[in-house]
Amino acid sequence: MVNNCFCCYSDNPYLCSQPDDIMNDLDLFEAIREGNLFAYKEMFLKYYAPLCTYAAQFLSDTDAEELVQDLMLYIWEARDHLIISTSLKSYLFIAVKNRSFNAIRKQKYRERIHAKLYSSLEEEQLDDPDFYMVDELAVKINDAIRDLPESYRKTFEMSRFEGLTNAKISSKLEVSVKTVEYRITKSLKILKGKLKDYMMLF
């Protein structure tokens, strides 16, 4: 009988594996690198819940899930050039920990900036009615940005507040440049909708 399964011609035996097969993480990752969706799905099902539980030690449940989803998406998008020098399991948990700490640092940095801004206000400004109009708008802007989905907000702030290029953001967040561009575009669209009654900001 002729074997018509094209994947059987691959050097990676995982590409011919059926769902009941149990493969080690090394074979799993190599199959993902070769674009095997079944292997990617198996990795997702195997590690998604444990990674979310781990990330929730540092972040809210919602932020933890979004962080893990971003990591999973990054692994698929970067599979061609992604190098894992440890085990797949170790890589995933270390990546979640590092991304969680980065998210915490960003939040603390933003809080320090806001505190410094308001502590630097002059007393005369507090007597100026125009100040409150500007301040009200600033509050609306901050609220609108804060309400963005976490991944959108982080990307938008790095672009607009930290002045980073899309390539730099891509590297820091470990996502593709196209993902960065998409998030910024969506963020601007959301903010325009929420702030349309105040001014054309963008």
Q: Which residues contact 10 (CB under 8 A, 6 or more apart)?
A: 16, 34
Q: What is the pLDDT of residue 72?
A: 93
Q: What is the pLDDT of residue 13?
A: 36
| Tens digit of each residue's pLDDT (9 = 90 or more) over 118-133 | 554 444 444 445 544 4
Q: What is the pLDDT of residue 42?
A: 92
Whether the pLDDT of residue 2 is over 50: the answer is no
Locate 162 and state its tokens: 């930290």
Q: Where are the domains of the chain?
A: 14-103, 121-202
Q: What is the pLDDT of residue 111?
A: 64
- 137 Cα distance to chain centroid: 28
Q: Which residues contact 52 (CB under 8 A, 6 or more apart)?
A: 61, 64, 65, 68
Q: Which residues contact 100 (CB under 8 A, 6 or more apart)?
A: 55, 57, 58, 59, 64, 67
| Tens digit of each residue's pLDDT (9 = 90 or more) over 142-195 | 778 888 888 898 898 888 777 788 999 998 898 888 999 999 888 888 877 777
Does 71 or 116 have the greater pLDDT score?
71
Q: What is the pLDDT of residue 51?
A: 94
What fold, for 121-202? Arc Repressor Mutant, subunit A (1.10.10)
| Tens digit of each residue's pLDDT (9 = 90 or more) over 48-102 | 999 999 999 988 888 889 999 999 999 999 888 888 888 889 999 999 999 998 8
Q: How far is CA 123 from CA 102, 119, 130, in A?
A: 36, 10, 14
Q: What is the pLDDT of residue 1?
A: 37
Q: Does domain 14-103 have CATH number 1.10.1740.10?
A: yes
Q: How confident is the model at residue 114 (pLDDT cuts 50, 70, 90)?
A: low
Does 124 or 137 have the greater pLDDT score?
137
Of 151, 156, 164, which is closest to residue 191 (Cα–Cα)? 156
Whether the pLDDT of residue 4 is over 50: the answer is no
Q: 24 in the Ramachandran plot: left (φ > 0), alpha (ψ -120 to 50) or beta? A: beta
CA angle 62, 144, 168 (to 5 degrees): 70
Q: Which residues contact 33 (CB under 8 A, 6 or more apart)?
A: 79, 80, 82
Q: What is the pLDDT of residue 109?
A: 62
* Spatial separation of the C-alpha atoms in residues 200 and 198, rounded to whole Å: 7
Locate 114 and state its tokens: 């806001």
| Tens digit of each residue's pLDDT (9 = 90 or more) over 9-42 | 233 333 344 343 345 888 888 999 999 999 999 9
Locate 131 and state its tokens: 């100040």
Q: What is the pTM of this model?
A: 0.48
